[in-house]
Amino acid sequence: MITYVEAQPKSRRTPGVIPLHGAEGFEGMRKASALTAQALDILFDFVEPGVPTAKLDQIAYEFARDNGAVPATLFYKGYRHSICTSINHVVCHGIPDDRGLREGDIVNVDLTLILDGWYGDSSRMYPVGEISRKAERLIEVTYASLEAGLAAARPGNTTGDIGAAIQAVAEGERMSVVRDFVGHGVGRLFHDEPNILHFGTPGTGVPLKPGMIFTIEPMINLGKPHVKILSDGWTAVTRDRTLSAQCEHSIGITETGNEVFTVSPGSLFNPLEARKSR
């Protein structure tokens, strides 16, 4: 006998149901996410003034192809690229193109690789040459906000605790949290339940349970939090054109805390720290 629930296609998000994954899911996520992190590591040395973001897209595509993985964004809802490249005031979903990066730019590269059906989703900031002190501060605060979110991601807490921790860090530095895009459940789906808001009230939302797998991906602005979407239908920019930064990990909730699946093998996740040690 097969029950109604079991008969549902595995590839569909079920409203109100948060999947709890076991050892197999964690192992699948480890492998997919390690590959994503390795690809983002490889891009580190290519990000330089004059390099077009389309070149980064090509490198990511070829890396996926050579490693038996598929970029999740390729042909996703009409998107035609392997990565998103979000420069300066672009908040997220920037489209790779043939224009060269310029000295002083800050660019987020967001990559999701599908390996054996599991989705490893991560993004990082890359400084192009020398960047301004205010851009550096924005990146520092964005990474600190993700760290605060990770510290709150454990059983006994709720999704609202994660958002509140992120918001406190960003607003404590007089920066703002983007409301329009959220972290998400991930696993054998690109975007699953739960939604992870990067702002909120402690104790609200969904209680965190071992086996939940989701992303945390705060977008922090130097100015106001409001965004608009450009006419290409994808590119989200800050309405006030102030700088925006983002970083993203895929994690799994464990009995005692969480496991970060998208750890950088070369310790290159935080570009400012990575530069100091090179």
- Binding-site positions for a divalent metal cation: 110, 121, 184, 217, 248
Q: Which of 180, 192, 183 is nearest to 15 (CA)?
A: 192
Task: With beta carbons less than 8 A apart as the criterion, state whether 104 and 129 touch.
Answer: yes
Is position 36 an interface residue for Co ion (rule: CB under 5 A)? no
Whether 186 contacts 214, CB under 8 Å: yes
Least gap, CB of 246 to Co ion (angstroms) = 9
Q: Are strands 219-221 and 176-177 parallel, antiparallel or unpaired?
A: antiparallel
Q: Which of 29, 95, 107, 110 binds Co ion (CB under 5 A)?
A: 110
- The answer to the question of residue 250 lying near ligand MF3 (CB under 6 A) is no
In the set 248, 258, 260, 274, which binds ligand MF3 (CB under 6 A)? Answer: 248
* Residue nearest ligand MF3 by beta-carbon distance: 73
SS3 per residue for 209-259: CCCCEEEECCEEECCCCCEEECCCCCCEEECCCCCEEECEEEEEECCCCEE
Closer to Co ion at the Cβ: 110 or 192? 110
Nearer to ligand MF3, 88 or 246 (CB): 246
d(CA 144, CA 135): 14
Alpha helices in the chain (DSSP H): 4-7, 23-44, 53-66, 133-151, 159-172, 271-276
Residue numbers 187-216 binding Co ion by CB under 5 A = 215
End-to-end CA distance of the chain: 60
Q: CB of 37: closest distance to Co ion in angstroms?
A: 12
Minimum Å gap between C-beta 4 and ligand MF3 is 30
Given candidates 39, 63, 72, 121, which one binds Co ion under the rule CB under 5 A? 121
The two three-digit tokens of residue 266, written as one number: 């070369």
Among 57, 105, 110, 161, binds ligand MF3 (CB under 6 A): 110
29 φ/ψ angles, rounded to the nearest 5 degrees: -70, -35
Number of residues near ligand MF3 (by CB under 6 A)? 13
Provide the annotated binding site for substrate. Answer: 93, 191
**Residues near Co ion (CB under 5 A):** 110, 121, 123, 215, 248
**Residues near ligand MF3 (CB under 6 A):** 73, 76-77, 79, 84, 93, 110, 112, 121, 215, 217, 234, 248
